[in-house]
Structure 1
Amino acid sequence: MMEIKVAKYCGFCYGVKRAVELAQKAAGEHVNGATLGPLIHNPQLIAELAAQGIACKDSLEQFAPGETVIFRSHGVGPEVYEQAEEKGLTIMDATCPNVRLAQKKAAEAAADGYFPIIVGEKNHPEVKSILKWAGKSAICVEYIKDISNVPQKERYGVIIQTTFELQKFNDILQALQEQRPGEYRVERTICLATSQRQQSAVELADDSEVMIVIGGRNSANTRHLFELVQGHCRQAYHIETADELNAAMFRGFTKIGITAGASTPDRLIKEAIVAMENMDFESMLNESMEVEVYPGKIVTGTVIQLDKDGVYVSFGYRHDGFIPYTEWDPTKSAEELQATIKEGDEVEAKVVPGSTKSDFVRLSKVKAERDAAWKNVAELAEGEKRPATVKVLRIIKNKAKNIVGLAVAVEGVEGFMPASHVELRRVEDFTDYVGKELQAEIIEVDLEKKRIVVSRRDLLKVEREAKAKAWKEAKEARIAAAKEARAAAEEAAYNSVEEGEVYTGKVVKVAEFGLFVEIGEGLVGLVHNTELAWDRNVKAADVAKEGDEVTVLVKKIDRENKRVALSIKATLEDPWKVEAGQFHVGDIVEAEVVRFLAFGAIVKLSEKVEGLVHISEIAQERINKPEDVLEIGQVVKAEVIKMDLDSKKIGLSISKVKRDAEKNEYRSYIGSKKSHLSQNLSEQLENLEK
Structure 2
Amino acid sequence: MMEIKVAQHCGFCYGVKRAVELAQGAAREHVQGGTLGPLIHNPQLINELAAQGIACREGLDEFSPGETVIIRSHGVGPEVYAEAEQKGLKILDATCPNVRLAQKKAAQAAADGYYPVIVGEKNHPEVKSILKWAGKSAICIECIKDISSVPQKERYGVIIQTTFELQKFEDILRELQKERPGEYRVERTICLATSQRQGAAVELAKESDAVVVIGGRNSANTRHLFELVQANCRKAYHIETADELNADMLRDCHKIGITAGASTPDRLIKEAIIAMENMDFESMLNESMEVEVYPGKIVNGTVIQLDKDGVYVSFGYRHDGLITYPEWNPAVAPEELMETIKVGDEVEAKVIPGSTKSDFVRLSKVKAERDAAWKNVPELAEGEKREATVKVLRIIKNKAKNIVGLAVAVEGVEGFMPASHVELRRVEDFTPYIGQELQAEIIEVDLEKKRIVVSRRDLLKAEREAKAKAYKEMKEAQAQARKEARAAAEEAAYASVEEGQVVPGKVVKVAEFGLFVEVGAGLVGLVHNTELAWDRTAKAADIAKEGDEVTVLVKKIDRENKRVALSIKATQEDPWKVEAGQFHIGDIVEVEVARFLPFGAIVKLTDKVEGLVHISEIAQERIAKPDDALELGQKVQAEVIKMDLDSKKIGLSISKVKRDAEKNEYRSYMGKKNSSLSQNLSEQLESLEK
TM-score by length of 2: 0.62
How far apart in 2 are the matches of 1:332 and 1:109?
Answer: 61
How many Å separate the matches in 2 of 1:63 and 1:425? 54
Equivalent residue number for residue 171 of structure 1: 171
Q: Which residue of 1 aligns with 2:329?
A: 329
Q: Is the 8 A contact 1:172 1:426 kept in 2?
A: no
C-alpha distance in structure 2 between counterparts of 1:389 and 1:119, whole Å? 38
CA contact (8 A) 1:175 1:425 kept: no
Could you tell me how far apart the structure 1 residues matched to 2:137 and 2:118 are?
A: 11
Question: How large is the RMSD of aligned CA atoms in angstroms?
Answer: 3.9
Match of 1:42 in 2: 42
Q: Which residue number corresponds to residue 306 of structure 1?
A: 306
Tell me: CA distance 1:350–1:122, structure 2 relative to 1, closer, same or farther (3 Å). Answer: closer
Contact 1:171 1:424 in 2 (8 A): no
The amino acid that maps onto 1:133 is: W
Alpha-carbon distance in 2 for matches of 1:185, 1:401: 30
1:550 equivalent in structure 2: none
Question: 1:12 maps to which residue?
Answer: 12
Tell which deviates more after alignment, 25-34 or 102-111.
Answer: 25-34
- Which whole-Å CA distance do the structure 1 matches of 2:281 and 2:167 have between them? 37
Deviation at 1:65, TM superposition (A): 2.9
Q: Aligned pair in 2 of structure 1 residues 301, 111: CA closer, same or farther (>3 Å)?
A: same
- Residue 126 of structure 1, CA deviation: 0.9
The 3 A distance-change label for structure 1 pair 269 and 335 is same
Q: Taking structure 1 as reference, are residues 448 and 141 closer, same or farther at Cα in structure 2, changes over 3 Å only?
A: closer
Partner of 2:158: 158
**Are the counterparts in 2 of residues 231 and 405 from structure 1 also a CA contact under 8 Å?**
no
Deviation at 1:168, TM superposition (A): 1.9
What is the aligned partner in structure 2 of residue 642 from structure 1?
A: none
Distance 1:20 1:313, change over 3 A: closer
Aligned equivalent of 1:3: 3
1:73, CA displacement in angstroms?
Answer: 1.2
**Alpha-carbon displacement from aligned partner over 1:665-689 (angstroms, at most 9, x marks no partner):** xxxxxxxxxxxxxxxxxxxxxxxxx
Instruction: Note the alpha carbon deviations across 1:307-361, whole angstroms, 9 max, x for none.
Output: 3343334445554443322222222112322333334433333333346997344
Hey, what's the Cα distance between the residues in 1 that align with 2:144 and 2:301? Answer: 52
Q: Does 1:74 align with 2:90?
A: no
The offset of 1:16, in angstroms, is 0.8
2:252 and 2:190 map into 1 onto residues whose CA distance is: 38
Name the CA distance, whole Å, in 2 between partners of 1:262 and 1:447: 34
Match of 1:482 in 2: none
1:363 corresponding residue in structure 2: 363
Question: Taking every aligned residue pair, what percent have the same amino acid on both sides?
Answer: 84
Q: Confirm or deny: 8 A CA contact 1:231 1:418 kept in the other structure.
A: no
Which position in structure 1 is the counterpart of 2:259?
259
Contact kept? 2:389, 2:440, Cα under 8 Å: yes
Separation (CA, whole Å) in 2 of partners of 1:200 and 1:458 = 30
What residue is the counterpart of 1:391 in the other structure? 391
Paired position in structure 2 for 1:243: 243
66-75 or 186-195, which deviates more: 66-75
Change in CA separation of 1:188 and 1:368 when aligned onto 2, cut-off 3 Å: same
What does the per-residue CA deviation read over 1:97-147, in whole Å, with 9 as the maximum and x for residues that have no partner?
A: 111111121112112211110111111111111111111211111122222
Query: Residue type matched to 1:168 in 2?
Result: K
Partner of 1:22: 22
Q: How far does the alpha carbon of each residue in 1:503-533 deviate from its partner, in whole angstroms, 9 at most, with x for none?
A: xxxxxxxxxxxxxxxxxxxxxxxxxxxxxxx
Report the CA distance shift for 1:114/1:329 in structure 2 as closer, same or farther (over 3 A).
same
- Amino acid in structure 2 at the alignment position of 1:147: I
Letter of the 1:217 partner, please give it. Answer: R
Instruction: Read off the aligned partner of 1:141 and give its amino acid letter.
Output: I
| Mapped partners of 1:223, 1:319: distance in 2 | 39
Amino acid at match of 2:295: P
User: What residue in structure 2 maps to residue 144 of structure 1?
Assistant: 144
Q: CA deviation at 1:218?
A: 1.4
Report 1:377-388 matches (<5 A): 377-388=377-388
Q: Is the 8 A contact 2:234 2:449 kept in 1?
A: no
Kept in 2: contact 1:405–1:416 (CA 8 A): yes
User: What CA distance in whole angstroms lies between the structure 2 residues aligned with 1:93 and 1:464?
Assistant: 57
Q: Distance in 1 between matches of 2:439 and 2:445?
A: 17
The 1-side partners of 2:423 and 2:188 are apart by 23
3-state SS of paired residue (1:75) = coil
| Residue 153 of structure 1: how far off its partner (Å) | 0.7
Aligned to 1:279: 279
Look up the equivalent residue of 1:12 and give its one-letter code. F
Q: Could you tell me which residue of structure 1 aligns to residue 64 of structure 2?
A: 64
1:225 maps to what in 2? 225
CA contact (8 A) 1:201 1:259 kept: yes
Please give the alpha-carbon distance, in whole angstroms, between the structure 2 residues aligned to 1:470 and 1:69. Answer: 71
Q: Which amino acid aligns with 1:240?
A: E
Q: Is the 8 A contact 2:290 2:317 kept in 1?
A: no
Matched residue SS, 1:231:
helix
Note if contact 2:290-2:318 (Cα within 8 Å) is conserved in structure 1: no
Secondary structure of the structure 2 residue equivalent to 1:339: helix
C-alpha contact (below 8 Å) 1:251/1:284 kept by paired residues: no
Secondary structure of 2:414 counterpart: strand
Secondary structure at 1:5 match in 2: strand
Residue of structure 1 equivalent to 2:452:
452
| Mapping of residues 113-152 of structure 1, within 5 Å | 113-152=113-152
Contact 2:291–2:317 (8 Å) recurs in 1: no
Q: Matched residue of 1:376: which SS?
A: coil
Partner of 1:183: 183
Distance in 1 separating the partners of 2:470 and 2:105: 37
Listed as ranges, the matches of 1:392-407 within 5 Å are: 392-395=392-395, 406-407=406-407
Q: What amino acid sits opposite 1:218 in the alignment?
A: N
> In the TM superposition, what is the alpha-carbon distance from 1:188 to its structure 2 partner?
1.0
Deviations 1:377-429 (A, max 9, x none): 11123344444443333455678988776543221112345667667899898
Q: Which residue of 1 aligns with 2:211?
A: 211
Work out the CA distance in 2 between the residues paired with 1:101 and 1:46.
Answer: 25
Deviation (angstroms), 1:265: 0.8
Cα gap change, 1:396 to 1:151, in 2 (>3 Å): closer
1:376 maps onto 2:376 in alignment = yes
Displacement, 1:280?
0.7
Q: d(CA) in 2 for partners of 1:355 and 1:269?
A: 33
8 Å contact kept, 1:212–1:258: yes
The residue that corresponds to 1:580 in the other structure is: none
CA contact (8 A) 2:290 2:316 kept: no
CA distance in 1, matches of 2:56, 2:266: 22
Aligned in 2, Cα 1:285/1:239: closer, same or farther, shift over 3 Å? same
Amino acid at match of 1:13: C
CA distance in 2: counterparts of 1:193 and 1:469, whole angstroms: 48
Counterpart amino acid of residue 100 in structure 2: R
Rounded to whole Å, the distance in 1 between the matches of 2:38 and 2:277 is: 32
Cα pair distance change 1:188/1:359, threshold 3 Å: same
**Deviation of residue 70 (structure 1)?**
1.8
CA distance in 1 between counterparts of 2:461 and 2:13 reads 34
Mark the CA change 1:198 to 1:352 in structure 2 (over 3 Å): closer, same or farther.
same
Q: Deviations for 1:189-227, whole angstroms, at most 9, x for unmatched residues?
A: 111111111121122222223222111121111122222
8 Å contact kept, 1:440–1:455: yes
**Cα gap change, 1:399 to 1:148, in 2 (>3 Å):** closer
Return the offset for 1:15.
0.9
Structure 2 segments unaligned to the other structure (5+ residues): 472-508, 516-528, 530-536, 538-690
- Spell out, residue by residue over 1:152-180, the C-alpha distance to the aligned partner (whole angstroms, 9 max, x if none): 11111111111111222122212211221
After the TM superposition, which of the residue ranges 123-132 and 298-307 deviates more from structure 2? 298-307
After superposition, the C-alpha distances for 1:208-260 in whole angstroms (9 at most, x for unaligned) are 23222111121111122222222222332222112222223223333322211
Counterpart-to-counterpart distance in 1, 2:273 and 2:317: 37
Distance 1:62 1:289 in 2: 60
Mark the CA change 1:361 to 1:41 in structure 2 (over 3 Å): closer, same or farther.
closer
Q: Which amino acid aligns with 2:161?
A: Q
Distance (whole Å) between structure 2 residues aligned to residue 261 and residue 24 of structure 1? 20
Amino acid at match of 2:218: N
Give, in whole Å, the separation in 1 of the partners of 2:49 and 2:513.
81
1:291 partner SS? coil
